[in-house]
Amino acid sequence: MAKEIKNELLTQIKADNLTARKTKDKVLSSILTLLVSEIDNIGINDGKRDTTEEETIKVLQKFKKNASENALAKEKLGGTKDEIKVFNEESLVYESYLPKLMSEDELKTAIEVMVKDGANNIGVIMDKLKKEYGGQYDGGMASEIAKSIL
């Protein structure tokens, strides 16, 4: 039997979905049901395993980006305030589950420690960042900081 992967974020989303259904919050329940389904499918489609926390974060980031882009598109195309509000609120739901991104100073400190410990090129640094802080930093900012330190 495959080892069960601990995914506290997915567990929280499922619990919140159950609460939304019990309180008959149809909008939130609909958003979270789709989100849980998408997250679960990643592991199922990859050998019937559990979805990792990092994969969960990637799905949340993708859904948040899509909702934000849909809100902007509605604004540009003359959508109603209510239509735009729906996408903005949906984006906020996804954002509420995402880990707080590291500040520039926190990221710089983490990269400096990695360099001190022997990471001597951007590829190594980015790989270590992904393993240690997956989904918690801005990749572009990390790359710029790494270039300036090296």
Cα-atom radius of gyration of the chain, to the nearest Å?
Answer: 18
Cα–Cα distances in Å, from 82 out to 74, 85, 116, 123, 124? Answer: 10, 5, 52, 45, 46
| pLDDT tens over the chain, length 150 residues | 445 567 899 999 999 999 999 999 999 999 999 999 999 999 899 888 899 888 999 899 999 999 999 999 999 998 889 989 999 999 999 999 998 888 999 999 999 999 998 888 888 999 999 888 877 888 889 999 998 988
Q: How many domains does the chain have?
A: 2
Identify the pLDDT of residue 79: 84
On whether residue 1 sits in a domain, the answer given is: no
Q: What sign for the dihedral angle of Cα 91, 96, 132, 58?
A: negative
Give the integer Cα–Cα distance in Å for 83 and 27: 13
**Quick one: pLDDT at residue 149?**
86
Q: Which two tokens stand for residue 117?
A: 């410990």
84 and 128 housed in the same domain: no
Reported pTM? 0.74
pLDDT at res. 2: 47
* 112 shares a domain with 82: no
Asked if residue 78 is part of any domain, the answer here is yes
Range of the domain at 125: 104-149
Whole-number pLDDT of residue 5: 64
Length of the chain: 150
